[in-house]
Structure 1
């Protein structure tokens, strides 16, 4: 964790880019930010350690080799507990604020109901973040100064990629708690127990079927247990940017944290280096897929 007075002394996100983009892929790590403004921590009822439970620790490092392979990587510095760009811009819980939220806010989404809107109410197993209600202006400021610029940059990266290569592929990179169990989905892809990875494609709507199954097969061939869409099919980013009929493909990948991090101390495990090597090979193989994989249109309606 790094403490900052605000995001005027450090950029809230950055694009790590090769000197020249060589492949039609863009990688995105929206939840691995670990810069926590002091004022935000002062508003919170949680300890600096507990508030990190929603953080995708080190995911940007796991996928950092995308850049030498020839693809840009967009990485957040702001934490998910502070602002979640994998939500609609105004998924807001009116009970969190001193003033009424804008009329265009989505206050009835399932994510808001679960405490995980654009401005999250909780982390972990339902732990409230804030001591009291927030001024609405603070939420709107985070949306205007961080959320909207982040999505402008991500959208531009994808548009530029499609213009250069004829299509663009977004890989949205996340981690998941190790306690997630597949008991309710036994038999899916032969998976029972806890998967190592989950590939999400919005149930076939956000990318070509061939891309999803290629990603699954590559990881399975490395010996990993891989699930498909359940329980994570992709969030707002995958849904919003995945338009395969317009040559924009979006795939979400969730990594089981137990593979590389101690979930109590949040320190990297010795296995971290080996997982990085495997993911580097995975990215190399995925980005080397032939063009026809991306020219196929999904069977599911867009």
Structure 2
């Protein structure tokens, strides 16, 4: 797979000047030819799980002095927002290793590390695959991606004394908040207060609302493995998941960008600047650029 394209890239500023790392793990749209040959889905349907163009929506991050890590491999191929071995035994022709987690709710829903379905419960494969295929994806995509993300976060923390990871995603346009009927434009996830400080979450919600969006916290998306794994507020490591409603910027049937795509990207650039200013003010000198 890596002979066809690089699995990911870091879009770096000339110098990192703010304690932020932006991450787009699900916007990859380079599909390995062997994977497409294995799939029962057409080239359009298999894209249903993408966080379409989220890397472009948050593309201003380097201009504010923060790196942006972008996956090129698609989520349908391997999902880095899962534990490394959340595997469904029904998908493979070989027995799973004893360390695999085959009992998670995500595996049961068909959305493990190697997904069984794309959105709308569309099965990806005709039959079972060899376990070696899954292990190759984990070794060549999943593990290097997380190693890179860990380095970026560790470098940021060492330089500034704190780190803020913004994990960037999109959600279907039909999402509603249960019991309220609210259709959110954005969901800010902090794993119910465990992955980031409450002040940081409240600031993100406030800035999005001031920009004219409907923003909610944690429901129905509180954050996945990345947010949970890297957010350690007690150690000055904060992680927020930002979900953008896809209907704001693409036609969900054709997956084409809407005319106001650039306007939304501009609003998110304002949001990124506001978040950087808030962290500098709230956390004080440790959030200022190191000499």
Query: What TM-score do you get using the length of structure 1 for normalisation?
Result: 0.92
Q: CA RMSD in A?
A: 1.0
Partner residue of 1:256 out of 245, 249, 260: 245
Looking at structure 2, the residues matched to 185 and 24 of structure 1 have their Cα atoms a distance apart, in angstroms, of: 37
Looking at structure 2, the residues matched to 146 and 50 of structure 1 have their Cα atoms a distance apart, in angstroms, of: 22
Alpha carbons 1:199, 1:216 under 8 Å: kept = yes
Alpha carbons 1:208, 1:293 under 8 Å: kept = no
Q: Secondary structure at the match of 2:165?
A: strand
1:113-128 correspondence to structure 2 within 5 Å: 113-128=108-123
Give the superposition deviation at 1:294: 4.8
Q: Does 1:22 align with 2:11?
A: no
Alpha carbons 1:247, 1:294 under 8 Å: kept = no
Higher RCO (C-alpha under 8 Å, 6+ residues apart): 2
Where has structure 1 moved over 6 Å in runs of 4 or more?
none
Q: Does 1:109 align with 2:104?
A: yes
Looking at structure 1, the residues matched to 282 and 30 of structure 2 have their Cα atoms a distance apart, in angstroms, of: 38
Looking at structure 2, the residues matched to 150 and 61 of structure 1 have their Cα atoms a distance apart, in angstroms, of: 19
Alpha carbons 2:2, 2:140 under 8 Å: kept = no
Looking at structure 1, the residues matched to 283 and 107 of structure 2 have their Cα atoms a distance apart, in angstroms, of: 34
Q: Does 1:70 align with 2:77?
A: no
Looking at structure 2, the residues matched to 193 and 239 of structure 1 have their Cα atoms a distance apart, in angstroms, of: 25
Looking at structure 1, the residues matched to 111 and 209 of structure 2 have their Cα atoms a distance apart, in angstroms, of: 31
Looking at structure 1, the residues matched to 217 and 239 of structure 2 have their Cα atoms a distance apart, in angstroms, of: 14
Looking at structure 2, the residues matched to 185 and 240 of structure 1 have their Cα atoms a distance apart, in angstroms, of: 29
Q: Does 1:194 align with 2:186?
A: no
| Change in CA separation of 1:113 and 1:293 when aligned onto 2, cut-off 3 Å | farther
Deviations 1:54-111 (A, max 9, x none): 0001000000000111000000000000000000000000110000011000000000
- Counterpart position of 1:298: none
- Counterpart position of 1:79: 74
1:245-284 correspondence to structure 2 within 5 Å: 245-284=234-273
| Structure 2, unpaired ranges of 5+ | 285-291
Looking at structure 1, the residues matched to 32 and 5 of structure 2 have their Cα atoms a distance apart, in angstroms, of: 10
Looking at structure 2, the residues matched to 34 and 13 of structure 1 have their Cα atoms a distance apart, in angstroms, of: 11
Looking at structure 1, the residues matched to 37 and 3 of structure 2 have their Cα atoms a distance apart, in angstroms, of: 18
Alpha carbons 1:208, 1:294 under 8 Å: kept = no
- Counterpart position of 1:41: 36
Looking at structure 1, the residues matched to 148 and 203 of structure 2 have their Cα atoms a distance apart, in angstroms, of: 28
Q: Secondary structure at the match of 2:159?
A: helix
| Structure 1, unpaired ranges of 5+ | 1-5, 187-191, 296-302
Looking at structure 2, the residues matched to 140 and 201 of structure 1 have their Cα atoms a distance apart, in angstroms, of: 30
Looking at structure 2, the residues matched to 103 and 153 of structure 1 have their Cα atoms a distance apart, in angstroms, of: 27
Deviations 1:265-301 (A, max 9, x none): 1110001011011000000001111446458xxxxxx
- Counterpart position of 1:160: 155
Alpha carbons 1:185, 1:230 under 8 Å: kept = no
Alpha carbons 1:27, 1:170 under 8 Å: kept = yes
- Counterpart position of 2:288: none
Deviations 1:3-54 (A, max 9, x none): xxx3213110000001110000000000000000111011111111000000
Deviations 1:190-221 (A, max 9, x none): xx431000000000000010000000000001
Partner residue of 1:226 out of 215, 218, 233: 215
Query: What TM-score do you get using the length of structure 2 for normalisation?
Result: 0.96
